[in-house]
Amino acid sequence: MLGRILTSLLPTITAKAHCDLPCGVYDPAQARIEAESVKAIIGKYDASDDDAFRQRCVIIKEQRSELVKHHLWVLWTDYFKPEHLERYPQLHDQFWKATKLAGAGGTKGSMDAEVAQQLLDKIEEIATIFRETKKA
Amino acid sequence: MLGRILTSLLPTITAKAHCDLPCGVYDPAQARIEAESVKAIIGKYDASDDDAFRQRCVIIKEQRSELVKHHLWVLWTDYFKPEHLERYPQLHDQFWKATKLAGAGGTKGSMDAEVAQQLLDKIEEIATIFRETKKA
Amino acid sequence: MLGRILTSLLPTITAKAHCDLPCGVYDPAQARIEAESVKAIIGKYDASDDDAFRQRCVIIKEQRSELVKHHLWVLWTDYFKPEHLERYPQLHDQFWKATKLAGAGGTKGSMDAEVAQQLLDKIEEIATIFRETKKA
Amino acid sequence: MLGRILTSLLPTITAKAHCDLPCGVYDPAQARIEAESVKAIIGKYDASDDDAFRQRCVIIKEQRSELVKHHLWVLWTDYFKPEHLERYPQLHDQFWKATKLAGAGGTKGSMDAEVAQQLLDKIEEIATIFRETKKA
Amino acid sequence: MLGRILTSLLPTITAKAHCDLPCGVYDPAQARIEAESVKAIIGKYDASDDDAFRQRCVIIKEQRSELVKHHLWVLWTDYFKPEHLERYPQLHDQFWKATKLAGAGGTKGSMDAEVAQQLLDKIEEIATIFRETKKA
Amino acid sequence: MLGRILTSLLPTITAKAHCDLPCGVYDPAQARIEAESVKAIIGKYDASDDDAFRQRCVIIKEQRSELVKHHLWVLWTDYFKPEHLERYPQLHDQFWKATKLAGAGGTKGSMDAEVAQQLLDKIEEIATIFRETKKA
């Protein structure tokens, strides 16, 4: 609480870079787009009974889930600063759970569209915080 | 003209996938985010006189420009369909010029922020067409 | 026709680089080698009834098809110049169709050797034009 | 200190999974090897006055720092479980700081061997916890 | 034995870098960790009867085997020097056989845990030589 | 035209596998094309006095040299069989020296066009053996 009040007195924070220069450009949309892809792939998998096509689904879901993890990790380490953590102490845990949701215990290991939706919801929670920090 | 009229009679086109499954998820934002990064890097390069930092700028600008090219190529080959080409016959040329703008004759080879802006403008032109095809 | 005549009056064109420096070294053989690999994989898939082996075929065919697309995109954007386009106005469309033939609607999504052959034929058409431009 | 002594009395440790299957094989040595490389590169950079060589140092330090980040992220998301977090509540913060130390504000952006040493120390802290969890 | 005695008479050899700078940091543990992962994946594959999970096993085993090959190749080309070859004339052949054991005729093409064990044994033979050269 | 006729008189060459399926398609041209690129880059570097351009040369030469190494390693491990080694006992050493010529002690670490030429010559030696084994 106090952290939140103190932070609101701080000068505007300018976002720093997904390229780790930092260039100053970050966007949770990168993780979201890949997660949407994961969810769509699961839908296509369910609708098909062609073996080779379903194997392609598994391959591509694996790659796209990995990209979700990567984009989230970059956002967590490179964009967020100590002052954000003070204001949003749950951030570490949210990123940890979100990346786990894109891993073996999440969309990599599952063909359940519900799991993909949970991942999308988690990313949206993070995106909401991200937008708040940009407005701050 | 006639092409445009004929196309408007066609049934709604559902976008197909950046993952090449196709999963059905495409977004020009992917190319735009990287291009914004390229432009920001150029600004940082100009503002610095630290050799190692400027070398990092060159390295990362190279990578980010390559990502712009990749995202645009995927959009061109995987998202756009013959009926889009009929309606937007300039598409091939726009993608060709946009990807060239992210190459040696564009942002890879240049430290001019104006070139990065031209790339962003070109991507916005493509994004406008993209949005129109989604509404169709 | 007129384009072809006009072009023949232009000075010799020196090829520019697949590395996007540009270094000056391009070769459609890179795309062709990967496409031959794709065709051979399909043959191996058809001849086998081992599940894990066939899954490896799907994985590797996916990767090799992606490499075909990449090498073609590079050639299209980095090697070919406006004067080539003037002389070969069909180039854009040929590359578009060739890369589509290595995608979901082509060798990525199909286990038909005929599709792989169509891809090889398309690459050969492009290679023919490439050789003509080098001789020019 | 006590942790270190206790560890030497425990039975052989079986590693757990870095491939996200999960395959059951994890090892902080992967991050440490890359971080040692980063530190060695800085030494080589300092000892040289050859421009091209120093540029290679910058390039490779960038890549190796990225690998440190990647290996740490994988360990954090894939290896550590809720019960570990309960026992080591500082884990999230340690990983966050360690990955930041391999980023723009750490070894990517710096040519100071001391920063590389701080990264190595942070990785050793994590490795100590890792070994304790394996013994548990 | 004799080799070991002879080696102790040679001048100290300083190891050169897996990053190809060279940075001076090499470790056969990199190949071993991936090979352990491969062996563990085979165990998981055998224990499961879930189609999608087994397909993930095939995908990841393919990637991890490739990493084994890569780490071994780097060690062979970048770490070992002519004086090592003189002392261990079997080195070339050991690396050749080890990398083949991680390829199509080895762990990539097989679901036999015994093959993965042979790969691990081969890596251990190389690691033993590696350690001897470091002590020299 | 004449070239095409002459080619049809040559004996059929069946390629062998670079994808490690093995798919049956191998070609030393892959390493050669990258090595030609390396040599061309050095020429461009020498001819320029623009700092950022020369840094791009260093970056891309690093990448292209790595690709040379990769393509040679694949050829060595995946294409060549024990019977080839029996007939060409120098193969191991040729590959070792060729890959070293593309590393820190070769084209990665040097801006000497002569070193790049030595690499090309070494690749041609290997290509000659390769062609002989295909005819066998």
Q: What is the pLDDT of residues C24-40, one digit of tens each?
A: 999 999 999 999 999 99
Q: pLDDT truncated to tens, each residue of chain F (136 aa)?
A: 233 333 333 333 333 347 999 998 999 999 999 999 999 999 999 999 999 999 999 999 999 999 999 999 999 999 999 999 999 999 999 999 999 999 999 999 999 999 999 999 999 999 999 999 999 7
The two tokens of residue B95 are 């993608």
CB A85 within 8 A of CB A38: no
Q: If you search the block for the tokens 């190529």, which residue do you land on?
A: B73
- Residue F136's pLDDT is 73
The answer to whether the CB atoms of E56 and A55 lie below 8 A apart is no
Give DSSP secondary structure letters for A32-101.
HHHHHHHHHHHHHHHH---HHHHHHHHHHHHHHHHHHHHHHHHIIIII--HHHHHH-TTHHHHHHHHHHH
The answer to whether the CB atoms of E109 and C55 lie below 8 A apart is no
Nearest to F109 by CA among F62, F71, F75, F67: F62
pLDDT at C136 over 90: no
**How many Å apart are CA A124 and CA B124, to the nearest integer?**
25
Mind telling me how many Å the CA of E43 is from chain A's nearest CA?
16
Q: What is the pLDDT of residues E50-68, one digit of tens each?
A: 999 999 999 999 999 999 9
Low-confidence stretches of chain E (pLDDT beneath 50): 1-17
Q: Which residues of B touch A21 (CB under 8 A)?
A: 40-41, 44, 56-57, 60
DSSP F24: S
- Distance between start and end Cα atoms, chain D: 17
Distances in Å between the alpha carbon of C79 and those of B100, B122, C74, C85? Answer: 10, 20, 7, 11
- Residue A18's pLDDT is 72
The answer to whether the CB atoms of B25 and A37 lie below 8 A apart is yes
B10 versus B89: the higher-pLDDT residue is: B89
Instruction: Out of B53, B55, B60, name the one closest to residue D55 (CB).
Output: B55
Mark out the alpha helices in E48-112 (DSSP H runs): 51-74, 82-87, 91-101
Which chain D residue lies closest to B62 (C-alpha atoms)?
D59
Mind telling me how many Å the CA of B90 is from chain A's nearest CA?
27
pLDDT at C8 over 70: no
- Residue F17's pLDDT is 47
Mind telling me how many Å the CA of C111 is from chain B's nearest CA?
14
Computed over its alpha carbons, how large is the radius of gyration of chain A?
17
The answer to whether the CB atoms of D44 and E57 lie below 8 A apart is no
Q: Which of C53, C54, C62, C64 to mutate to test the interface with E (most CBs of E within 10 A)?
A: C53
Farthest-apart Cα atoms in chain C, separation: 59
| Surface-to-core class of residue A68, CB atoms within 10 Å of its CB (0-12 exposed, 13-18 middle, 19+ buried) | buried
Tell me the CB-side half-sphere exposure of residue F106, using CA atoms within 13 A.
Answer: 25
pLDDT at D102 over 70: yes
Q: Which helix (H) or strand (E) holds F36?
A: helix F29-47
- Residue A6's pLDDT is 32
DSSP A7: H
- Residue A56's pLDDT is 98
pLDDT tier at B131, thresholds 50, 70, 90 = very high
Q: Which chains touch E (3 or more CB pairs under 8 A)?
A: A, C, D, F
- Residue D18's pLDDT is 72
- Residue E11's pLDDT is 29
**Residues of chain E whose C-beta is under 8 A from some C-beta in A?**
52-53, 55-56, 59-60
Q: Say if the ipTM goes beyond 0.90.
A: no
Q: Could you tell me which residues come within 8 angstroms of residue C92 by beta carbon, excluding any fewer than 6 positions away?
A: B92, B93, B96, C76, C85
Q: Which residues of D touch B56 (CB under 8 A)?
A: 58, 62, 108-109
SS3 category, F32: helix
Q: Which residues of F touch C33 (CB under 8 A)?
A: 18, 25, 27, 29-30
Report pTM: 0.89
pLDDT tier at A14, thresholds 50, 70, 90 = very low
The two tokens of residue E92 are 């070339």
**Around Cβ E11, how many Cβ atoms within 10 Å?**
7
The two tokens of residue C32 are 């062709």
**Around Cβ D118, how many Cβ atoms within 10 Å?**
18
**How many Å apart are CA C40 and CA C35, to the nearest integer?**
9
Nearest to F25 by CA among F123, F130, F97: F130
Task: Over range D34-52, report the average pLDDT.
Answer: 97
